[in-house]
Amino acid sequence: MKEKSALFLTFIFISFIFLFNLGAGSLNAWDEGFYASVARSMIERGDWINLYFADVSWCDKPPLCMWMTAIFYKLFGVNEFSARFFSAFSGIGACLIAYLLGKKLFSKKIGLISALLLAGTCHFIQFAKAGTLDMPLTFFVSLAVYFFILSEENKRFILCFFIAWALAFMVKSFGSFSIFAIVIVYSAIQRNWKNIFNRYTLPGVFIFFIIISIWHIAAFHDSWETFLQQSFRSHLWTRTGQAIDNHTGGILTYINVILYKAKPWGVLGLAGIPFLLLNLVRKKINSQAWIILVWVIFYLVAFSIVKTKLHWYIMPIYPAIMIIAAVFLEKILKSKTIAIVFIVTIISVGYFGIKKDIFTLDYNPSIKKFAQDVRKQNQKKEPVYLYDIGGDPSVEFYIGGEARSLYKEEDLMKVIALGKCVIVTRPQSSALSMIPSTRNIIKSSNGEFIAVIS
């Protein structure tokens, strides 16, 4: 009974971390505002197959996260909370999987410590409270690994493994293939291929392709050229072979990410790698723990090879590396581990709340205020147009829902000729010279945008 109460209270605490003040502040332009805008366009257009950003077809990523966000928009309204909720929910789910994996591979104590370490890691908290794709991917990768471990005792769980993998694919397509690599290397180490090749494998593969093909076939049919260009060439080959937008780094980039962004526990996870390896080689611990080690090493090696380097690419490493940290800590602190970890986690979360603003989440206050001012001044509800804004996702989210994007100068001139409207653009834009007269001009406090009510 005490165990269940401790577990319940732990996840109440974890849920508080990820859900408290989730709807506060404003969305980050990249990538929160982008995905939030894509999700809203689904509702506005009534089209859940063809994705759009700023009235332009977009299919760089599969739509699962945008689908979920659109559902939350319908439930809770189009706002910051709805845009972030699926990510926060996935963060809580990832902590639960860390607990279940730690419990399965080691002990209930290790499971509980793993969940606490993960929930108290700064980098992980920041992305659990951000409306991006990386936390849902982390959850489904973790879930797939967990089901694969369960399938070693009950082969039917391989069906659940393929479902989890398919859902990961529907979040970030080829980013989900880390799951396949992890289980292949793990099976080779264990010299056990029965999990992968058994009577449930073919049904599992069939389910996998059914899940991922429903949207992909429809999207390919409607806009095959854009689909191939964005989903395959841009997302897979270009990012792997060259650094996009100058996002470069060295071989130690992700080691440094864990050391400096995954405070306070990341360093212990890295320090625990040789400890876990030594115990596995000496066969002093459950051999299934090889999958945790493979998981960590694969992400460190594979994403160090990929040319485009962004710190959130290795978000799925955290459940595994926190399990390693838990094993290492328990060996050092023994019976005092849970109490110490709980106290340090509370202190760390409080510190992150003050110094890292994890409970404020106000990334674009000037754009949000600018949008509010535009609505307030546009009392007659004149049509709103966005022109030459550089595809800024925060402007698209906060103003774009009631506006149409213009890309050609002749289209802008036609709109101006029709009469009264609101033009949102940049101060240096040529649009300003085309508008003959104005009755009101609104500027964003950061000086990047201007709204002309003519």
292-343: pLDDT as tens digits:
999 999 999 999 988 888 899 999 999 999 999 999 999 999 889 999 999 9
Same-domain check for residues 382 and 338: no
Give Cα separations from 245 to 33, 137, 238, 309, 316 (angstroms).
Answer: 18, 23, 11, 10, 23
Residues 130 and 214 occupy one common structural domain: yes
pLDDT at 228: 61
Same domain, residue pair 40 and 71:
yes
pTM: 0.94
**Residue that finishes a domain, picked among 307, 323, 355:** 355
Q: What pLDDT sits at residue 263?
A: 94
Q: Are 17 and 95 in contact (CB under 8 A)?
A: no
Tell whether 346 and 390 lie within a shared domain.
no
Tell whether 36 and 119 lie within a shared domain: yes
**pLDDT at residue 223 tops 80:** no
21: alpha, beta or left? (left if phi > 0; alpha if psi -120 to 50):
left
CB 244 within 8 A of CB 230: no
Structural domains in the chain (count): 2
**Residue 258 located in a structural domain:** no
Confidence of residue 23 (pLDDT cuts 50, 70, 90): very high
Report the pLDDT value the prediction gives residue 29, as an integer from 0 to 100: 85
Note whether 143 and 117 are same-domain residues. Answer: yes
Q: Is the peptide bond before 47 cis (omega within 30 degrees of 0)?
A: no
Q: What share of the chain is helix, strand, coil (3-state, %, to 5)?
A: 70, 5, 25
Q: What is the four-CA torsion angle of 327, 328, 333, 335, rounded to 10 degrees? A: 10
Q: What is the mean pLDDT of residues 395-411?
A: 86
Distance CA 333, CA 386 (A): 58
Which 8-state DSSP code applies to residue 452? E
Question: Which of the four pLDDT bands, split at 50, 70 and 90, describes residue 403?
Answer: confident
Phi-psi region of 384 (alpha: psi -120 to 50; beta: other; left: phi over 0): beta
β pairing state of 403-406 and 440-443: unpaired
Cα dist. 169→5, 231, 438 in Å? Answer: 35, 12, 50
Structural domain contains residue 262: no
> pLDDT tens, 72-104?
999 999 999 999 999 999 999 999 999 999 999
Taking CA atoms, 254 is separated from 163, 251, 284, 305, in Å, by 29, 8, 29, 11
Q: Write down which residue in 321, 355, 389 finishes a domain.
A: 355
317 neighbors 295 (Cβ within 8 angstroms) = yes
* Percentage of the residues of the chain whose pLDDT score is greater than 70: 93
Q: Is the dihedral of CA 93, 318, 393, 395 positive or negative?
A: positive
Is there a domain that residue 238 lies in? no
**Any domain includes 16:** yes
Domain span at residue 149 reads 2-224+331-355
Give the 3-state secondary structure of residue 403: strand
> How much is the pLDDT for 315?
96
Do 52 and 132 share a domain, yes or no? yes
Q: Which amino acid is at 441?
A: I
DSSP state of 401: G
CB 321 within 8 A of CB 114: no
174 in the same domain as 62: yes
How far is 318 from 273, CA to CA, in rounded Å? 13
pLDDT tens digits along 338-392: 999 999 999 999 999 999 889 989 999 999 999 999 989 888 888 999 998 877 8
d(CA 281, CA 14): 34
In the three-class reduction of DSSP (H, G, I as helix; E, B as strand; rest coil), residue 454 is classed as coil
pLDDT in tens, 147-164: 999 999 999 999 999 999
Both 345 and 393 in one domain: the answer is no
For residue 444, pLDDT beyond 80: yes
What is the edge-to-edge ordering of all strands in the sheet holding 440-443? 403-406, 384-387, 422-425, 450-453, 440-443
Instruction: Provide the H-helix boundaries in 106-133.
Output: 108-119, 122-128
Contact call for residues 128 and 318 (beta carbons, < 8 A): no
**Confidence grade of residue 243 (pLDDT, cut at 50, 70, 90):** low
Instruction: Specify if 219 maps to a domain.
Output: yes
326 domain-assigned: no
Same domain, 62 and 140: yes
Q: What is the pLDDT of residue 433?
A: 81
Strands 422-425 and 384-387 come out as parallel
Residue 129 sits in the same domain as residue 61: yes
Specify whether 213 is located in the same domain as 129: yes
Q: Which residues of 52-74 are buried (b: 16+ CB within 10 A; e: fewer)?
A: bbbeeebbbbbbbbbbbbbbbbe
pLDDT band at 230 (very low <50, low <70, confident <90, very high): low
Range of lowest pLDDT (3-12, 165-174, 251-260, 354-363): 3-12
Q: Is residue 166 part of a domain?
A: yes
Domain boundary among 320, 355, 390: 355
Tell me whether residue 186 is in a domain: yes
Checking if the pLDDT of 419 tops 80, the result is no
Of 306 and 134, more confident: 134
Tokens of 340: 């110490």
